Amino acid sequence: ELKVEQNPLFLSMQEGKNYTIYCNYSTTSDRLYWYRQDPGKSLESLFVLLSNGAVKQEGRLMASLDTKARLSTLHITAAVHDLSATYFCAVPISGGYNKLIFGAGTRLAVHP
């Protein structure tokens, strides 16, 4: 059974600092997705990682995928308050017809 674990679950950061969120998964997958969720809102797609070694960057966020280690990272550079949200990684079940297994989410709070 596929399990997806994120850590940390809560992260309080100072503005301007860097940090990394980790997403480990338990069975083989060559794809992984990152989403952002603001309180009371839906999921906003951040990154679609489709192969081993994939790296994507958007603004202060950079995501990478290591399929051999079954690990993805979401790196935050020089955090700003607007990045405060909950971040989820999701992995598709192999042969699972678009069934995604989500991590528990990392709640990020960026403060001055």
Partner 1 sequence: KAGVTQTPRYLIKTRGQQVTLSCSPISGHRSVSWYQQTPGQGLQFLFEYFSETQRNKGNFPGRFSGRQFSNSRSEMNVSTLELGDSALYLCASSLSGLSGYTFGSGTRLTVV
Stretch that binds partner 1, among 14-22, 34-42, 59-67, 71-79 (CB under 8 A): 34-42
**Count of CB atoms within 10 A of residue 74's CB?**
23
Of the two residues 51 and 112, which places its CB atom closer to partner 1 in the complex? 51
Quick check: 65 and 75 in contact, CB under 8 A?
A: no
Burial 29-40 (b: 16+ CB within 10 A, else e): bebbbbbbeeee
The distance of closest approach from Cβ of residue 55 to partner 1 in the complex, given in angstroms and rounded to an integer, is 16
According to CB under 8 A, which one of 21, 74, 101, 110 is a site residue for partner 1? 101
Q: Is 112 in the site for partner 1 (CB under 8 A)?
A: no
